[in-house]
Amino acid sequence: MKLSCIVPSYKDPSLHKTIDSILDNAVGEVEINVVLDAYWPIQQIRDDPRIKVLHLGKNRGMREAINAGVLMSTGDVLMRTDEHCSFAKGFDKAIIDALEDDQIVTPTRYELDVVNWKRMSDPAVNFTKLSIQSVSDTVKKFTAVPWKARDEELKDVMIAETMGMQGSCWFMKRSWWDKVIVGLQTEGYGPLIQDSTEMIFKTWKAGGKMMLNKNTWHAHRHRKFGRKHNNGTSENPANQDAGYQYAIDVWGGYYNDVIKPKWKI
């Protein structure tokens, strides 16, 4: 099956190395859909027939950039990645060979040294638990936190259901996006945050699963290197707080009444 890689981009110099890592490590048919959110990179994007570039003339933010990348995709399987990630050799085959119709899948995650473009020695992140955490005295948000108990319980299991993901790299069949996800909503959430939360809850409501595949990995920029961009939005903290609250308002009841009892947390 053909893989369409969606790369939403806003002024991150690591974009080019991320593209190289996808093309150098994919072993099957692949296309890369780079969505430039109202900017042009200083360095020209690699000239390769597998790369398509869409320039958004107006700044729309990460959610709409992902939507646009999906619309221009032609693959049977979708992959979304941040623009500062590297990948294991054969990552595409490892995911696609085990991917089922009703799943979102994330691989094992490591930390990435973006200066030396090297996977760091920090422990891998595998299973994560979706929880509600406080942002401030008045604001809460859904977040995925490392789930050490499940890591130990399923240490020898390579593919299993998980509750959350960082959102920096995920895969699903295009048919699942078209049927269940449809598109990432900006109303309420805003242009940037809680995209993985929205997709996971939509998937659960439709009877699907959020999965971890430990047969491959991606490495995501370590926080110590700092963010060189703002994901293409001028969002201020107050607007993001409103988006966090919207996600709680929409999904909080379902999480407390259905998901927590199911996972016994």
Residue 17: give its domain's CATH number.
3.90.550.10
Per-residue pLDDT of 33-66, as tens digits, reads 999 999 999 999 999 999 999 999 998 999 999 9
SS percent in the chain: helix, strand, coil, step 5? 30, 30, 40
Whose CA is closest to 232, among 166, 199, 186?
Answer: 186
> What are 236-245's contacts with CB under 8 Å, separation 24+?
239/190, 240/190, 240/192, 240/193, 241/135, 241/136, 241/139, 242/190, 243/188, 243/189, 243/190, 243/192, 243/193, 243/194, 244/135, 244/139, 244/140, 244/141, 244/142, 244/193, 244/194, 245/139, 245/140
Per-residue DSSP letter, 223: G
Res 78: pLDDT: 98
* Residue 88, helix vs strand vs coil: coil
Question: Residue 189 corresponds to which tokens in the numbers above?
Answer: 């959430």
Enter the DSSP assignment of 178. I
Alpha carbon distances (Å) from 131 to 16, 115, 134, 248 = 34, 32, 10, 11
Task: Flag whether the pTM goes above 0.85.
Answer: yes
pLDDT value at position 240?
A: 85
Q: Render pLDDT for 179-208 as a digit per residue (tens, 0 to 9).
A: 999 999 999 999 999 999 999 999 999 999
Under a CB-based contact definition with an 8 Å cutoff, are residues 25 and 89 in contact?
A: yes
Answer for the pair 184, 66: CB distance below 8 angstroms, yes or no. yes
pLDDT score for 137: 87
Bridge pairing between strands 77-81 and 169-173 = antiparallel
Structural domains of the chain, count: 1
Backbone angles phi, psi at 196, to 5 degrees: -70, -35
41: domain range? 3-263
Exposed (0-12), middle (13-18) or buried (19+): which is 41, by Cβ within 10 Å? middle
What tokens does 149 get? 């108990």
The token pair at 181 is 């996800």
Contact by Cβ (8 Å): 77, 2? yes
Under 8 Å between Cβ of 221 and 122: no
Ranges of the chain whose pLDDT falls below 70: 226-238
Q: Which pLDDT value is given to residue 224? A: 78
Quote the CA–CA distance of 15 and 231 in Å, as a whole number: 12
Residue in the block written with tokens 């595949």 = 213
The 10 Å CB-count burial string (b at 16+, else e) for 183-215 is ebbbeebbbbbbbbbbbbbbbbeeebebbbbbb
